[in-house]
Structure 1
Amino acid sequence: MDDLVEKALARWPNVPAIAGWLKLNLQGDWLLTGPAPEGLTISHPRILNFMARNYGCEPDGRFYFQNGPQKAYVHLAYTPWVYRIHPLAQGDLMLSTHTGLVGWPLAMYQDEQGRVLIEGEQGIGLLHSNDMDLLAAGLQESGGELVHQACWAVPDCDPDSLIAARTKLRRDKKTSTGQRTCTFKLIQIDSNAVALRFQFNPNPEVNQQDPNS
């Protein structure tokens, strides 16, 4: 969270939270909803990076954007994270969230529509549809099951200097660097069971609890 946001929270600690105005779609785009039925896509780089740095989650699984002293709960079209795959010059793959956080993949899933979900260090997220070809290159069949094998990397340098991305790429201080060859079986999962299994609330505006609780 930005220092300016923390200072704003300290100065105005009781600003009511809002819900029903912000949505994260399947491509990792932020949409302003409310008056516009289809949603207005937020595209300004400075705003996107500010939102990326101030995206968080309540203990009860509601995700939010902390806009200064006010918390805006996010409606999730599917998962709280959308993952991107970036090919590096040496042939490794690098994984990042829609908020630019670079980290390690931990598991992979496939739902009934064929969509791939990745469990990363940040949590569960849908793989961006544009990156399915990159993932497919590492897929193979083993014992009648789909398995993905690839060499992943988290660089010890500034990841944003390696890849041009809309949202600035950065590494969490707790994330280790290096290279790993990982093999993941694509575990089958029902899309309707994802939120319960990974304990997040995709619809915080429905039956919303007290935002300040």
Structure 2
Amino acid sequence: MDDIVKQALAKWPNVPHCYGWLGLDARGNWYMRDDRTQAMGPFPAAKGSLLKHDKLIDFIQRNYEHDERGQWFFQNGPQRVYVELEAAPWIWRVAEDFSVRSHSGLEVEPSACLLDEDGRLYLVAPLGLGLVHTQDVGVAAEAIEAGRWTPQDVRAAELPARFGHVMSPAAGQPLRQPAHP
């Protein structure tokens, strides 16, 4: 976590958490979800605006963590901005040499390989569960053929309970009442 974030937490410890405003898609892209987008439906059906600012994305990724309930969030100064997940908390990039990095650039060593009912490939690493990026499935298939990983069948709906992550922290929050003019 950035020092400036730690300082803000110490200075303003009781800032309310934010739900529904940030999403991570199955390709490792971040989306800002304003009130209008949230009113259109849950993530990923209503994704919002793709974040393109590299420094903002880097800041989010450096301050991306999970709480004790398995809800992933971005610590934005004193405020936790909980993340809506499309597929998993991590999106893995697999290089030609079969090395694996997270969408945030952290290198990991997978300990298990899972294949769901829709053919999506997941890897388990010390950071947690992640989906293999669609552009890297071919390289991951080569790693499987080379005996590096052995896929185990899994049902996608069982993954959050099995690996302790919450796909939609906003779903557990009370609905907001519309503001009156």
Using the size of structure 1 for normalisation, the TM-score is: 0.74
Deviation at 1:61, TM superposition (A): 0.5
Residue 137 of structure 2 aligns with which residue?
A: 132
Coordinate RMSD, CA, aligned: 1.4
Query: Residue 201 of structure 1: SS of its match in structure 2?
Result: coil
Question: Whose helix proportion is higher, 1 or 2?
Answer: 2
Separation (CA, whole Å) in 2 of partners of 1:26 and 1:187: 20
Separation (CA, whole Å) in 2 of partners of 1:23 and 1:38: 7
Residues 87-125 of structure 1, C-alpha deviation per residue, up to 9 Å, x if partnerless? Answer: 2xxxx3221111111111111000000010000121000
State the identity %.
Answer: 35
Residues 113-162 of structure 1, C-alpha deviation per residue, up to 9 Å, x if partnerless? Answer: 0010000121000000000111122333xxxxxxx52xxxxxxxxxxxxx
Residue 197 of structure 1 aligns with which residue?
A: 162
Question: Whose strand proportion is higher, 1 or 2?
Answer: 1
Residue 17 of structure 2 aligns with which residue?
A: 17
| Structure 2, unaligned runs of 5 or more | 38-45, 175-181
Separation (CA, whole Å) in 1 of partners of 2:63 and 2:144: 35
Pair 1:47-2:65 in alignment: no
Query: Residue 93 of structure 1: SS of its match in structure 2?
Result: coil
Separation (CA, whole Å) in 2 of partners of 1:2 and 1:38: 27
Correspondence for 1:96 among 84, 101, 105: 101
Separation (CA, whole Å) in 2 of partners of 1:47 and 1:86: 25
Query: How many matched pairs?
Result: 165
Given the superposition, is the C-alpha separation of residues 185 and 38 from structure 1 closer, same or farther in structure 2, using an over 3 Å criterion? closer
**Aligned ranges 1:142-181 → 2 under 5 Å:** 149=147
Residue 121 of structure 1 aligns with which residue?
A: 126
